[in-house]
Structure 1
């Protein structure tokens, strides 16, 4: 007689207790009680923030895990939870980053690369104005660097302002003549200059200052914000300044006299020797040279603007633009292709 197939009921089943854990969920807390703040410093995973509409007490914060890989940079407007008192030892958490109105980027130096290529760095977020600080002498002005900054500003949708220092040592004619067709706003400064014109251009705005080491940027920052205590460097004998600032920092401009308008913010950046533009497309490079745009209108499609047969070449040769501007534009094009870049 064949054996009967055994039937099982619930008493025969062994149930193993599972691991006790909370079920995973994609639902994130809304943090409706979060405090709005502005990031003014970044230092090894700690972010110095000031509360929007509050005093200038610095709240130290760290990134919340829910931000994932989103970077936080100086100029970011964020939401904080936790201990936002600003007391010694207190630590808040950044749980949200507001949408950025602008992002100023630069590609790292040639020797700062990864297997995927040159590193792209976000300099600051939400800047409205790029103040390009250049000395007229000691060290001499470098229009190639200024051109790079202009391209980065136009690419980011930030208005540029040229700030020419050390006007007591040299005149501005050569630099201003080079940019004569751009209608580029500028201010001239010497050690005894008042800063009224510059303050008026900074009022109510978030402005970021960039410039080579030794051009007087830290001295200018100390004059604008006496409490900044930024170190003032000494220009070396070979004409290249040593680095005097090592990290970007946002500084609230003080009110002057009885003026009630918002004096604005400035972001002081470290002195840099290059401003890489590998992140900017070849087409966007031309935005930094609006005086050359007309010469490209009749050019052949997909022209690289590098050959002698280029319409732009003939247009400039006919006296419609400064040949130095075309040479600078071509140096930037070449640097994107991996060739040595101009200064």
Structure 2
């Protein structure tokens, strides 16, 4: 977390050493003959990696300690990398990451969880109906994308059930890239934006994310669920992230989320995730908390004058308030 001490992440969970563990040494082998690979899936301590186009199952070498390995990581493997059944390689090195997408369980949870590494595009999948749009989740994902240095893309599904006009109007001032799809409709616009990119797809359950992935990569065979007609919530069908090769890049499908905590992001960076409010924020007095009760907050003046979207201002304030547990977002 920027400013004020080191943030915590999933590697900070203490693990009690088992009896009989051998003492570790500072001197580690160089593994100069290790093979380069990409982690495409993680399942109970086993890592599915792609090596020269073939799938290899690996485990983490003891020398790596508690450091996490996630989908998208570039790693080095030793051992049996043939990919034949019942063989097991070892991950002996995790290469430097170009980007890390993280989230927390909620806005007050100090432990952040790495979702994927080395992506360059975050595709926020949102349905226009069944279930309806979730602008609060969209805003959270946009903040996370900007913080991670990923290019955001809004993908609106089920346009055969509802039109996107009002929702797109709310984000018009951002110049946010977007695509609109419908069931069994043409996907050429989306395909073009995914080509040669490492794209991670994020969205709540039931929005049609897995259906999209199956249409784009038919051999993926991602499980597809249904929306509860009473609660409007979808069932979690994808239980873990998986990276799929696609047109010179990758599609990384992730499990459906019901929340996207931002506790790991500094409040100033949360504000920076609302670039359409930037000019107004610049006119706020020093140290302005940007709350509705803040004296002289320029957000109120600009919204009252019709220069800002009241919905966007309200969304920012909900996010800032939820960090202190004052209000859900």
Same fold by TM-score greater than 0.5 = yes
Per the alignment, residue 301 of structure 2 pairs with 314
Show structure 2 runs of 5+ residues with no match: 1-21
- In the aligned structure 1, how far is the partner of 2:263 from the partner of 2:191? 33
Per the alignment, residue 172 of structure 1 pairs with 164
Pairs within 5 Å for 1:90-129:
90-109=87-106, 117-129=109-121
Which one of 193, 200, 203 corresponds to residue 185 of structure 2? Answer: 193
Pairs within 5 Å for 1:247-326:
247-253=240-246, 262=248, 264-306=249-291, 307-309=293-295, 310-326=297-313
Residue pair 1:295, 1:316 contacting (<8 A) in 2 also: no
Shift of residue 118 of structure 1?
A: 4.1
Per the alignment, residue 225 of structure 1 pairs with 217
* Greater Cα radius of gyration, structure 1 or 2: 1
Shift of residue 68 of structure 1?
A: 1.7
Structure with greater contact order relative to length (CA < 8 Å, sep ≥ 6) = 2
Partner of 1:78, secondary structure, is strand
Shift of residue 132 of structure 1?
A: 0.4
Show structure 1 runs of 5+ residues with no match: 1-21, 256-261
Superposition RMSD in Å: 1.6
- In the aligned structure 2, how far is the partner of 1:103 from the partner of 1:187? 24
**Does residue 56 of structure 2 align to residue 59 of structure 1?**
yes
Shift of residue 312 of structure 1?
A: 2.1
**Does residue 139 of structure 2 align to residue 147 of structure 1?**
yes
- In the aligned structure 1, how far is the partner of 2:317 from the partner of 2:153? 23
Pairs within 5 Å for 1:209-224:
209-224=201-216
Shift of residue 266 of structure 1?
A: 0.6
Per the alignment, residue 78 of structure 1 pairs with 75
Provide TM-score, normalisation by structure 2.
0.89
Partner of 1:291, secondary structure, is helix
- In the aligned structure 2, how far is the partner of 1:308 from the partner of 1:318? 18
Residue pair 1:166, 1:191 contacting (<8 A) in 2 also: yes
CA deviation digits over 1:57-87, x for unaligned, max 9? 2111111122122110000000000111111
Shift of residue 199 of structure 1?
A: 1.1
Partner of 2:102, secondary structure, is strand
**Does residue 317 of structure 2 align to residue 330 of structure 1?**
yes
Provide TM-score, normalisation by structure 1.
0.86
CA deviation digits over 1:150-190, x for unaligned, max 9? 00000000000000000001111011001010000000101
Per the alignment, residue 28 of structure 2 pairs with 28
- In the aligned structure 2, how far is the partner of 1:192 from the partner of 1:251? 21
Q: Which moved more, 1:302-311 or 1:216-225?
A: 302-311
Per the alignment, residue 9 of structure 1 pairs with none
Shift of residue 25 of structure 1?
A: 5.1
